[in-house]
Structure formats: C-alpha cells, structure tokens
Structure 1
C-alpha cells in the first residue's frame, strides 16, 4: 500500500462503525426469509488489511437438518465468511470454497491464511467460505456436550481416543465414542442426515441466502467429493468447478489408504529415471527404496547408532506433502534413500534432516545473486544487490505493519466487543488460579466446571456459582464483585469468549467424531479391512507401517455406527458443467491419478498434473491460483501448460560421494 492508502486503511479500522454498505442485506437478516442470517464476529487472525463488516463478514446460515423433510423440525447452523472482492465492480458469481475432511472446518483458525490462498480470485470476485454440517465450528448440532465436558481434561491433553487396543492388540470403539453416539441419539439428533448428499443440498441454500444466484466451486480433498456430489444432486446455480486433490466417490478411499504413498514413490523413481544425471547417480532407486523400507520394518535400519522406527523412510515421501511454504524435498530424496541403504558417509541426510529439519529453505537473496553473477556486469550486480536489500527492508516493514495492525485490532475488539470488565475478569481469574487450585484433581474439576458453562443459558448466576465453587480467599470476593458489576451484554461476551476457549481445546477431537459420521455411514461397507489388506499387499512399495494402524482404527471405530446405504453414491458422476481437475505429484492423501479418473463422466472437464505440489496444489504453487482464476473467468478457454512447466521437477541433487568407490560397503 502507498502511504495515503495506509492512512485511509487505518482511518477505516479505527472508525466507530465500518462502511458496511456492501454487506447491508446480510446485516438486515439476509435476502431469503426462510434461511435467516445471523452476523457474528470473525475468528482471528484476520489478514492485516481486512476490516470486519467492510472487507470481510462472518455469521451463520440456518439450514434444514433434512432437506427431504419439508416439515422437519431440526435445523443446522452453518458458519460462513465472505471475503469481499477487491474490485468495486465484481462479477456476480463468487467462488465458493468447499473444504476437506470430511469434518475438518477452516474458519476456527481465522481468515488470514484463507485470504492469502484465495486472494487471486478476489481480483474480481467475492470468495465465500463456510464450515459444512458436522465440520469445524458448524459442529454444534452433533457435539455430544455432556461427553465432551466430562472428558475435557483428557481431550485437552490429547489423551482421549475413539478406538483402543485390547490385550490381543485388536482395536475396538472406546466408551467415549459409544457414549457420544448414545447422547446424540437421546437428544434426537438423526446422524444419518449428516452425509455428503445433504451437505451438497446445503450449498445452493447457503449461496442463495447470502444473496448470490450463481457461483463457482473450488473443492479440495473431501471438498472435491462434495463438489462432484453438488454437480450430481444440486447443480442449479453452479457455473464452473475446480477440484484440487481429488477424491472421487468411485474410489474406495479407505481400502486405498496406502496407494497415494506408493504412487508418489513410483513417480519419484520414474522422474529420476527420466533425468540423465539422476539415473546415472542412482540407477537402482526403486530397488533401493524397497530394500530400505524392508530393512526398517525388520528393525535393521540405523542412523547415528540408533535403530530407526519402521515408518521412518516412509516419512521422507510424506514430508513433501507437509510444508507448502518451504522448498522442495524432491531433488534430495534419491540421495537420502541411497545413504540410508549404503551406510558410510551421509551428507545429504545430515543436511536435510539435521540442518533443514526436512524443510528445505526457499531461494534466498544470496542464492539469487550467485545464480546471476555469471550473466551480469559489475554495475548490474550492484543494482541487483541494492534491489534485494530494498526488498528485504520492504518485507520487514510489511511484517512489522502487520503485527502492529493485529495488536491494534485486538485492542479495539476487546474494548468494543467485550468492554473493560470481561477483560478484567479474565485477568483476575488467571491471577487467582495458582493460589486457589493447587492440586491436579482440583484443576481437573475446575476445568470440567468451566467447560460445563458452555452448555445451557449464559446467566450471571451460573457464572457466580462457578466462581463460588472453585475459588476462595481474597480472590473470591473480588471476582464476584466484578461479575455483579457487569451489564448483560458483558455477561454475554464472557460466555462467548469461554465457548471459544473450550472449543479450541476440544475441536480436534470433535472433528475426529465428525469425520467418522461421514466415513462410517457412507464408506462402510464399501470399504473394509479385507479390501485394505488386499490393495496394500499388491502395491509396488510397502507403506503398511505408515497406514496399517490408521486403517485398523478407522474400521474399528466404524463398528459403532450403522452404515446408511445410498443409491448410486459410489457411481460415476455425470455432468456437463465445466470442471478443472488437478492432481499433484507429492500428494499422499489423494493419488494424482484420481484427478483424471474423476473426469470419466464429466463431458466438459479437463485434468491437469502439477508435479511439484502436495495435497491441494493451490497451497503449493502460485501459478495454480493464476490458472484456476483464469479458468473461472472463462471456463471455455484453452489453458496452456505454463503452470505445469513452472512447477516441473527441479534438477536432482547429486551427492558428493557419487562416483567414488565406497571401499567399506560397496555401491548399493
């Protein structure tokens, strides 16, 4: 931003009321009376340049629990956010992002990351994000509140599980899971309504409630399965769709847990074989990888004198998928596998694991200067050096500005939305804890009582009862006086804050339950443990050490559920809506080949392969944002291979020992 733009932004940020004209219909309850909108504060962090109710707005949309029952009494609140277009005259059809999981929402962790990922669409479109039913902060209708409260300490400390092993090492559902399901049934929640079809029927209801008549979908992971289901079940209003990291319904996702790992490994072997230098340096890469995996599974693989766990070499393949903002591991993987296999000196492993912690750095100013030195004159190099220094200063200034704005925004929020007394109560409670709750048992009891406040009416009396039960001495009177002095709006703000605090501690567990609601009712018995064993045994690379436990746990957990048969759910999706399907070379969650498989019944679809990207290519390669934005702007245009070329596999690293005879161990 220019200085004048910065001043204008800060003036808007500190204004008593934001300029909310763009969102006026939503602030009035939304344009569709049958689908009411409630505006709520957006979760933090926001991107530094966002202003709530001016550039972003958040809230909830109420949808039927069962779209097939016109007179149904149960409803579901779905949390949403709209990232307003940067344009004064945006296109009327926004981009709606359908997140992965299932059950894994996005809004709880704030909008800053989502704003960065989807910024290129905001050039001329709004971006709509919502946590789906039984996902993230839209999970309240399937949250077993009593079970969560009773087990809040174990859940917060990551000691709670959904499946456990008996004395024979067989997995079975835990009493926590079965108790949770029993509580939901007792409360009248029909969990069979929490499925991909009902989820797909939510999409047009949400979009129309927000005032849109047509839209474009961008699905990642489970969001691609949901996108395809929208095309099959509720296509009206959908103009185009992008599916990225594709999980088509025809694929048995749990039978094939290990397949994406093996496919990504085979692709690495093939890429090395196609590169003359890599093929010469590591001529037997496929065999070496297989033997390293076998040695690890037998407990015969060591590093620095210690035996490595069986899954260690498999994490090399998985690690590429875990660091979208870091450099590529691909060039180093052949050398790493060879060094594990051959023994002796291991400079590549020491560099990548020791120095880089499996996350190679992105190119630096120094590497750019070194690359340019041969082609530039001395004056040109001086100009480049100065430009890089200026860029670093600008980057540091931008980071400092972002931190300052974040601090200012939080201070304004606490003063405006909470007021001084809720902030004071929070500080006083924190100060009182060490003096009055001295044992682990007392701390656990207080934590359960605190979590229980989330359930029921947000009254002053309940808050005071909590304080009287858990605090004493000089702190007690002061805490009670603060609560007595609060207004009703301040009491409400305290409960809002504590609900978010409890949610942060329990959300990961709740999302695990949410995932099972979908997987166990839709994908079982279409998937089963016998199918998983058969698929895994037939793969060219054995990733069972990475996936066996996960498979056993999910199939055991699913025995607590009743599968719900859905006609044609696992059939090929047929549609003529324009679709761009993207597969990624590093993806170990959804195989790259599934992007092409998903287009089988799509008459107006094309698939693209991005070599140097993981699960959700847009997270890894900037050109994917350019490509998909261009597609949505004009779904009929021809897309060239610019992005595929820009994200091609880089030159492989040739270790310093290559070509030297290892007299101690010989060559692999």
Structure 2
C-alpha cells in the first residue's frame, strides 16, 4: 500500500532536512520540495505477489475466431508501423531494466492518405530471468482513457513486478492518453472540478457547466487537428496488433483489466494472430450496456457490501444497520451538505469541498473498486455521520490527485462511439433497492440519459454494429471477477465466456475491481495460467479467501494488544521501537497501513548538533499549511531520565504529537500522526514508548 500525502510528505521533508544536515552541518539547509506520492487503490488495487513458476513447455497455436461476424473487408494497409527507441518519459521504478520508445501509426486507418499519425509511448520491462520466455505480456490499461505509464512509478512494483519472473512485461499509453501524442486530456474538466468543488449546484447548473467545459475541450482538440472519430476500440486494437509486429514478437499474451478487457476482446476478434493467451480481469463485454446497467450493477455491489458487514461480527457490532444508516446519511447530506478541507497534491493547494449525499454515494461506489478501501467504508460512513471527516478528507484528496492520470477526451470518444451510440434515449434500468443511486448515474457523462447530450456535443461518430456483439474465439482465455466489483459484475465475465471455447472462469470473494492485483490468490492463478494456458490452474486458494477485513477504530484497552519490536536505522544512526507490522515507507517513518486511507504513522529520526526543534516546527507548519508553528504543550521525562519537549498540532482533523530531545549529540525527534478517536490509545501504546526507546547507535 502506498501512503497518502499528509504523513508521507512530512516524513520525506523531515528526512531530507536531517540527511542533508548530516552531510554538511555547517551549511544552511534548504527546505525540500515534497515528493508526490499518492495511493492508487481507487483506480486499481494493492500489492500482491506470487512465487515464480517455470516457463511453459508447449505453446498453443492461435486460431482465428469462427463465429464472430467479420468486419468490412479493407484493402492491404497503405502504411508500415514504425517503432523508434527513445528515453522513458516517466520515472523508472527502482533499478528496473526498461527500454522505451514510440510506435507511430496512422490516426485513422480509413484515411491514411491525410498523413496524420499518432505516437504511442511504449515501455518494455525486461524479465528478471536470464532465459525468459519468448512471449511477453502486454498490459492493456483500463478507462477508457487511463494513463498507464504516468502511473508506473507509483504502481509497477506493487502490481506488476512479479510478472517479470519469466517474461518481459510491456506497458503502453493507448492512443489519446498519457505520454502518447496527441493527448485527448481535458484540463478544462479538471479546472471545472476545482472551480466548483465547494459550490452547491443544481443538476441543471452542473450539467450546463459540464457541457461548456466539454465544448471548450472539443474545440481546442479539433483546432489542433484531432479526428475525434479515430479514437475507439477498433483503432486501439489495430495499434496493439501493429505494436507486436513493430517490436518483432511472434507471439505474446494479452492482459487487460476493466476497459482493457474490452480492448482485448476487440484484438481477439480483429487480430487473433500472434496471441498465445488472454487474461480478462474485471470483464467489460462489447454487448454490455454500461449506460443502462450501471445503477443496477452498483445496486448488486452495495447489497454485497452491506451484507458483508452485517455478516462480520466485528463490523456489525461497530457499525450496525449500515444500509439504513447510509441511506439516512445520504438524505441528511442532500438536505444539509457539509464542507471539508481537502489537499490537491497536483497543485499543492488546499480546497474547500462541499459534500452532499450524492457525492457520498459516489465515494462509496468508488471505494468498492478496491479491497483496501472497501474495508474502511463502514467506518467512514459512521464517522461522517458523527462529524469525523478525516478519512473522507484523505479519500477526496486522493480522488483530486488522480484526475491528472486520466484522459477524459479519450473516454468520451470511445464511449460515445461504441456505447452510447447503441443506447436508446429514454430507456432506463433504475435501482429499486437503493433509489439514491439513480440520480448519480443518470447524470453521468457516459452512464445515463445525460450521456446523449454529451455525445451529441462531442461528435465522435457511431461504431459498426459489430462493436455491440459477443466476441467468439478459441484463444486460451482466463476470466477473473471480484465479488464486490461495482462496475463490471461477475455476470459480465460469464457473459463473455459464452463466446469462448477455451476458457477458465474464477470469481473471488471479498475483493472488487482488478482481481489479479488485489490479492495473492488471483495473482497466483494468473501466473499459473500464463505458464501453461492449456491446463486449468489450481484454484484451491479461493476456498481460503474470506470477506474484507473491515476496519474498526481502536478503543480503550486495545493498546495492550499492540506489540512493539526493535528497529535500527543506519541513515540516522538510531535504534528504537516500532509497532509490529508497521512498514518503513521513508527512512525512520513507519506507517500502520491498516487501510488505503490510514494516515497513522510514527516518525523517529535524529539530527546533528545545531538543528533545534524550531527548524522542524517551522517545517511542520510549512508542509501542512499551518498559520504558525505550534507552541510547546508540555514535557515528558522518559525512563532514561531524558526530558522531551512536547508539541501538538492538528491538520484536517488529524492530531499530530511531536516530541524533541536535544543534547550535545544533536536532536532526537518522534512525531505521531493519528486519527482523533485513536490518539489516546496510540499515545500510550506507541508514542510514549517510542520516546523511551529512541537512542543513537
């Protein structure tokens, strides 16, 4: 799990001050810029690992599908795809061996003569094996519109590194996204979000502003010469096929999550040559109607979620009648919205955000994508009801940051072309169990009736009827589904399997969207399938899986169960104690990581002589946007007779406790960030013992 911005940037900043000061204590130390790191659990999912397995000994032959209607015949292509190696546009994670380049293909293959091209940024991650299998994995990003390579520094090691055991792993930015050119990103829509974050708009006002921003984005792209009708799954699939040829692979394995599965199906249909196997994770069928079915799909996931908490003794005890509490909270917030302060890591600014009931519904919907967020949702619901918004602040802050990793123009082009164009105005499929879902999705740009107005404006054309038909194929295919998935339900994976003659289908309890990167078991099954697509993977691990480990806050008496263990840090030359299981995310900074929203952290560091508490108090104020540095609140004499100066602060509802001990050797620092309802327990169980134990080596 990646830490969220508050505690991470504070830990980085303090570490930098100490380490720079240690290199040259006589020179003034500049205040470092915080490193931009955010949790990505809303779009995909947390860490999962698997043991490497041997490369396959037999490779099946890809056979073209036999029943899918063939696309209209086209003449021999009047172009040759080209690939040129360049530097990587993104930060390479760790010491990975990565080669990057650009694939150049026509923007519109039906009009090659116009000379317009697109350039797709591609990264080839080298296998860890000295003798890798000849068929790499090519990853197909979701969305549509997801920026794959911009997220690599944040996600690769957690989600994809294990695939390198036996094969190269290829990630690319699809046309219109990320570092590919042209980009169909719409900063106009991001600006609209930030400009109206604290506005209490009516539905009509919000839709009018959205259409204005869409019109501005469209006008700019058209002025730049972009053909919006050329950004669709058929062209996208042709890009994938051209990439394999340009890179010189005889065969490879397709691996798609979410929209990436729809793209994979299109490749299976149009370009089956050279495909050894296919992995469809969180499947989006071509024949599905996202515009019509989203509310009822969400209803199914909400029902699973509420039932999951009710069936969990600890969750039900802490958060009884969760469905009723949530429905009442949605109604109350729609009548009387609240305002919270959030932090946007993209521009490093604080914003006021208005939270009404409809927004809270979208928060829960997004939370069910990730098992790490799902397990915190009951607590978040009760917290908001009771006036505690620290988790909500963190989640909304993360959602704001994630906007920059998405090309909304690409999403509109694809969905308007091949989804909305097959829908019928006025046709609805409302949720009956949770009516509050209907307004949310009816007003969505591609999930309800408002989509017709958006697409009338965007004008990305209408797809061939084949884009709304079941794909038939005999390519070896693995289909994965998560029980809690709110957007691509397990039934969609089963629907796709009806057109496949050689497939394995697995559903996993307790997890949501992106099953293969959500837990060890689905990843192990995925790896086994890659190693031998002709043999059904051993799925016995599914029986050991359970529902989410729902989070409940610490209460009086829970501190006794927190076990401490010794640690040593060579960077600062210190030893001390930290709670068992807390991960060192930055030198001397230990995060609890109970969920994707957990900001709880203990920072233990040391500095050279000459740097007193005032340096760090001013840094604390600067990093967290406090009006002034905190004043001393008291003293603590530890078990060794040392007197620590104590300070308290608060940031967006997160209490911050700091202790400083200074002697001739320099400064020892202990800082704890926690949630208000847990501070008293953690103060005695973690913060005070940290001061008692921290020493120089």
Under TM normalisation by the shorter chain, which class is it?
Answer: 0.5 to 0.7
1:543 partner SS: helix
Q: What residue number does 2:412 align with?
A: 516
Gaps of 5+ in 1: 1-32, 360-504, 658-668
* Change over 3 Å in CA distance of 1:510–1:594 after alignment to 2: closer
2:301 partner SS: helix
More helix by share: 1
Deviation at 1:157, TM superposition (A): 9.4
Deviation at 1:333, TM superposition (A): 5.4
Q: What residue number does 2:437 align with?
A: 543
1:257 partner SS: helix
Q: How many positions carry a matched residue from both structures?
A: 453
Deviation at 1:213, TM superposition (A): 1.0
Q: What residue number does 1:622 align with?
A: 520
User: Separation in 2 of the partners of 1:281 and 1:115?
Assistant: 35
Deviation at 1:217, TM superposition (A): 0.8
Alignment map for 1:466-477 (pairs within 5 Å): none
Residue 41 in 1 paired to residue 87 in 2? yes
Residue 94 in 1 paired to residue 136 in 2? yes
* Change over 3 Å in CA distance of 1:654–1:210 after alignment to 2: closer
* Change over 3 Å in CA distance of 1:185–1:170 after alignment to 2: closer
Residue 309 in 1 paired to residue 356 in 2? yes
Q: What residue number does 2:667 align with?
A: none
User: Separation in 1 of the partners of 2:547 and 2:105?
Assistant: 45
User: Separation in 1 of the partners of 2:125 and 2:531?
Assistant: 18
User: Separation in 2 of the partners of 1:294 and 1:34?
Assistant: 58
Q: Of 278, 281, 306, which residue of structure 2 is paired with 1:244?
A: 281
Q: What residue number does 1:560 align with?
A: 457
Q: Of 519, 541, 546, which residue of structure 2 is paired with 1:648?
A: 546
User: Separation in 2 of the partners of 1:119 and 1:622?
Assistant: 13
The CA deviation string for residues 445-473 of structure 1, in whole angstroms up to 9 with x for no partner, is: xxxxxxxxxxxxxxxxxxxxxxxxxxxxx
Alignment map for 1:241-390 (pairs within 5 Å): 241-272=278-309, 286=323, 289-299=326-336, 309-311=356-358, 314=361, 317-318=364-365, 320-321=367-368, 327=372, 329-330=374-375, 354=390
Does the CA contact (< 8 Å) of 1:43 and 1:109 recur in 2? no
1:96 partner SS: strand
Alignment map for 1:121-270 (pairs within 5 Å): 121-140=163-182, 155=191, 158-159=194-195, 171=208, 174=211, 177-178=214-215, 180-182=217-219, 184-185=221-222, 189-270=226-307
Gaps of 5+ in 2: 1-78, 341-353, 396-400, 556-697
The CA deviation string for residues 596-650 of structure 1, in whole angstroms up to 9 with x for no partner, is: 2222211222222222333212332133322211111111222333443454215
Q: What residue number does 1:25 align with?
A: none
Q: What residue number does 2:656 align with?
A: none
User: Separation in 1 of the partners of 2:406 and 2:523?
Assistant: 31
Q: What residue number does 2:422 align with?
A: 526
* Change over 3 Å in CA distance of 1:340–1:604 after alignment to 2: same
2:104 partner SS: strand
User: Separation in 2 of the partners of 1:167 and 1:251?
Assistant: 28
Q: What residue number does 1:57 align with?
A: 99
1:536 partner SS: coil
Alignment map for 1:459-608 (pairs within 5 Å): 508=404, 511-527=407-423, 530-531=426-427, 534-538=428-432, 540=434, 542-544=436-438, 546-551=440-445, 554-562=451-459, 563-608=461-506
User: Separation in 2 of the partners of 1:181 and 1:313?
Assistant: 30
User: Separation in 1 of the partners of 2:539 and 2:298?
Assistant: 26
Does the CA contact (< 8 Å) of 1:173 and 1:559 recur in 2? no
Deviation at 1:205, TM superposition (A): 0.8
Q: CA RMSD in A?
A: 4.2
TM-score by length of 2: 0.56
* Change over 3 Å in CA distance of 1:63–1:313 after alignment to 2: closer
* Change over 3 Å in CA distance of 1:507–1:514 after alignment to 2: farther
Residue 79 in 1 paired to residue 121 in 2? yes
Deviation at 1:65, TM superposition (A): 2.3
More strand by share: 2
Does the CA contact (< 8 Å) of 2:144 and 2:411 recur in 1? yes
Q: What residue number does 1:489 align with?
A: none
Deviation at 1:222, TM superposition (A): 1.0
1:271 partner SS: helix
1:606 partner SS: strand
Deviation at 1:336, TM superposition (A): 6.9
TM-score by length of 1: 0.58
Deviation at 1:295, TM superposition (A): 4.8
User: Separation in 2 of the partners of 1:74 and 1:339?
Assistant: 53
